[in-house]
């Protein structure tokens, strides 16, 4: 089913009838421009822009502090945003802490966890799921990948020991689009007494996520990849109370004296200072927008585009494809004899925007034996015209480089 076929669902614009109407709700999608870099950051629908504008303008006030009416109203809206995000991933509001992004969420867990020890990562992890563990002093083991670019859970089962206190895997690879069987990963981690942290940045915009069903202990994601604002992200956990606060300041306290400070319960203890009020309301609007279209419909729409693009690229002798055939919304490839940066530059001249580089996944690039890849990634607004423009642009790259 395409996203356009999901218009029977309640939506921010119930009169929407055509796929083109969806694209029209994204002011960043200017005519003649084919945006295929949603895995880096998603374009924003007008509903999110409007929510942020109202929150920053007519409705603006601080939260949790003022006794005047507008502050009280904004506090209610901010906490309603927390509830909306919790419901979007199947959690409870007291289990959701707002952070600056998935990077901050992983750093928070890495530094605040009471049992620092060994952590099992995988070859395909984003730098944000590698460097924080190193900086916080964890001992790192690395799980290999299967031949088609998935985290090898059979290998993980053999690697895991009671010395491991954490397993941290990506739900969907930001380079290969390969999805993880999170429930099995959770079972393997818990079998040896470890906890499981899932980087859900690429999964939340395109896969149904129910943290209770997945069985993980921590789930993190960034708002800007979910069609929301930058500067906001989510740390979900049913174990937040076990983590120590890692930043001090206003809001996160119970009582402060010069001799001793006591802290607010989770999740407030992790939100030191004035929070990202506008961004939280924008993120809630993004979750509402995606829910109205239906994540299942979005995923099916993106899968159809992935299948079409992979089929057409596979016919080109100059192209090497990476990742599994069922990659979620992401297609990485290399063109023989042409650096991905050159591919990206020439495509840009044709109005096609892709990502080219190591995608903050240098260990994965080393595993693939390439310095970089070209990456096309889809969103709910992507369509067949975007795929056609990419294929035409690659034909131009081939002509230029012979």
List pLDDT tens digits, range 339-360.
999 999 999 999 999 999 999 9
Range of the domain at 214: 50-292
Of the candidates 259, 292, 325, which is a domain's last residue? 292
Residue 329: give its domain's CATH number. Answer: 3.90.1150.10
- d(CA 209, CA 163) in angstroms, rounded, equals 29
- On the question of pLDDT at 14 being above 90, the answer is no
Domain count, the chain: 2
What's the CATH number where 110 sits? 3.40.640.10
- Mean pLDDT on 331-346: 98
Tokens at 317, concatenated: 């002798």
Residue 37's alpha-carbon distances to 99, 235, 331, in angstroms, are 24, 24, 11
pTM above 0.75, yes or no: yes
Please say if the pLDDT value at position 5 is more than 90: no
Could you tell me which of 206, 215, 134, 201 has the C-alpha nearest to residue 171? 201
Quick check: 363 pLDDT over 90?
yes
pLDDT band at 7 (very low <50, low <70, confident <90, very high): very low
pLDDT-derived band at 65 (thresholds 50, 70, 90) equals confident
What is residue 1's predicted lDDT score, i.e. its pLDDT? 34
pLDDT band at 13 (very low <50, low <70, confident <90, very high): very low
pLDDT at 4 exceeding the cut of 70: no
Provide the pLDDT for residue 19. Answer: 62
Q: Are residues 201 and 313 in the same domain?
A: no
Q: Are residues 158 and 281 in the same domain?
A: yes
Per-residue pLDDT band for 402 (boundaries 50, 70, 90) equals: confident
Confidence (pLDDT) at 6: 35
* Tokens found for residue 208: 């149904």
Q: How far is CA 365 from the centre of its chain?
A: 20
Q: In this structure, is the dihedral angle defined by the CA atoms of residues 113, 115, 116 and 122, taken in order, positive or negative?
A: negative
List the alpha helices (DSSP H) in 161-259.
Answer: 182-191, 211-214
341 shares a domain with 264: no
3 state SS of 95: helix
Same domain, yes or no: 333 and 373: yes
Give the tens place of pLDDT for each residue, 284-326.
Answer: 999 999 999 999 999 999 999 999 999 999 999 999 999 999 9
Residues 206, 307 share a domain = no
Q: Is the domain of 173 the same as that of 72?
A: yes
Instruction: Name the catalytic one among 52, 143, 216, 360.
Output: 360
Q: How far apart are CA 126 and CA 254, in angstroms?
A: 36
pLDDT of amino acid 174 = 98
3-state SS class at 387: helix
Q: Which residues pair with 235 in a beta bridge?
A: 97, 220
Per-residue model confidence (pLDDT) at position 26:
98
Residues 57 and 31 in one domain: no
In whole angstroms, give the CA distance from residue 100 to residue 14: 32
Domain termination site, one of 271, 292, 313: 292
| Statement to judge: residues 184 and 280 lie in one domain | yes
State yes or no: is 216 an active-site residue.
Answer: no
| H/E run at residue 255 | strand 253-256
Same domain, 93 and 39: no
Radius of gyration of the chain (CA): 22
Given a cut of 80, is residue 8 above it in pLDDT?
no
Could you tell me if 99 and 168 lie in one domain?
yes
Average per-residue pLDDT for the chain:
94
Q: Where are the extended beta strands (E) located within 104-174?
A: 118-122, 139-143, 164-170
What SS3 class is residue 331?
strand
Section 257-283 average pLDDT: 95
Is a pLDDT exceeding 60 seen at residue 62? yes
C-beta of residue 245 within 8 angstroms of C-beta of residue 108: no
Mean pLDDT of 73-96: 98
List, in order, residues 6 or more apart from 312 with CB less than 8 Å away: 387, 391
- Residue at a domain's end among 260, 292, 324: 292
Q: Does residue 370 register a pLDDT over 90?
A: yes
Q: What is the mean pLDDT of residues 159-186?
A: 98
Residues ≥6 apart with Cβ < 8 Å to 270 = 97, 99, 108, 235, 240, 243, 245, 246, 247, 252
Query: How confident is the model over 231-260, as pLDDT tens digits?
Result: 999 999 999 999 999 899 998 999 999 999
SS3 289: helix
User: Cα–Cα distance between 93 and 334 in angstroms, integer?
Assistant: 43
Pair 17, 99 in one domain: no
Least confident of 137-141, 262-266, 331-335: 262-266
- Three-state secondary structure along 341-356? HHHHHHHHHCCEECEE
Residue 217 sits in the same domain as residue 362 = no
């Amino acid at each position: 089913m395409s996203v356009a076929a999901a218009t029977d669902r309640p939506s921010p614009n119930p009169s929407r009838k055509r796929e083109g109407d969806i694209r029209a709700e994204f002011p960043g999608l200017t005519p003649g421009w084919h945006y295929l870099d949603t895995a880096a950051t998603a374009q924003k629908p007008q509903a999110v822009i409007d929510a942020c504008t109202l929150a920053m303008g007519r409705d603006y006030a601080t939260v949790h502090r003022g006794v005047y009416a507008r502050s009280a109203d904004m506090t209610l809206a901010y906490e309603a945003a927390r509830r909306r995000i919790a419901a979007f991933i199947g959690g409870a509001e007291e289990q959701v802490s707002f952070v600056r992004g998935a990077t901050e969420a992983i750093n928070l867990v890495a530094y605040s966890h009471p049992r620092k020890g060994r952590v099992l990562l995988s070859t395909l992890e984003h730098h944000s799921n590698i460097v924080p563990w190193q900086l916080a002093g964890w001992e790192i083991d690395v799980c290999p990948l299967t031949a088609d670019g998935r985290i090898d859970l059979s290998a993980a089962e053999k690697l895991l020991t009671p010395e491991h206190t954490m397993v941290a895997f990506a739900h969907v690879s930001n380079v290969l689009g390969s999805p993880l069987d999170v429930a099995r990963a959770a079972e393997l981690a818990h079998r040896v007494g470890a906890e499981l942290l899932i980087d859900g940045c690429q999964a939340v915009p395109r896969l149904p996520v129910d943290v209770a069903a997945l069985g993980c202990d921590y789930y993190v994601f960034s708002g800007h990849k979910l069609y929301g604002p930058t500067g906001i992200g989510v740390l979900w956990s049913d174990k937040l109370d076990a983590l120590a606060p890692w930043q001090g300041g206003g809001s996160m306290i119970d009582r402060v004296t010069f001799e001793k400070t006591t802290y607010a319960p989770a999740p407030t203890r992790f939100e030191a200072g004035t929070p990202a009020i506008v961004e939280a309301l924008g993120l809630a609007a993004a979750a509402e927008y995606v829910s109205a279209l239906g994540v299942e419909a979005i995923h099916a729409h993106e899968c159809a585009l992935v299948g079409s693009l992979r089929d057409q690229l596979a016919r080109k002798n100059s192209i090497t494809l990476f990742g599994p055939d069922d990659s979620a919304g992401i297609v990485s490839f290399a063109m023989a004899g042409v650096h991905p940066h050159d591919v990206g530059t020439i495509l840009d001249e044709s109005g096609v925007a892709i990502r080219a580089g190591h995608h903050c996944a240098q260990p994965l690039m080393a595993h693939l034996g390439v310095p970089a890849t070209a990456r096309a990634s889809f969103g709910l607004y992507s369509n067949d015209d975007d795929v056609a423009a990419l294929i035409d642009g690659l034909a131009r790259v081939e002509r230029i480089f012979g």
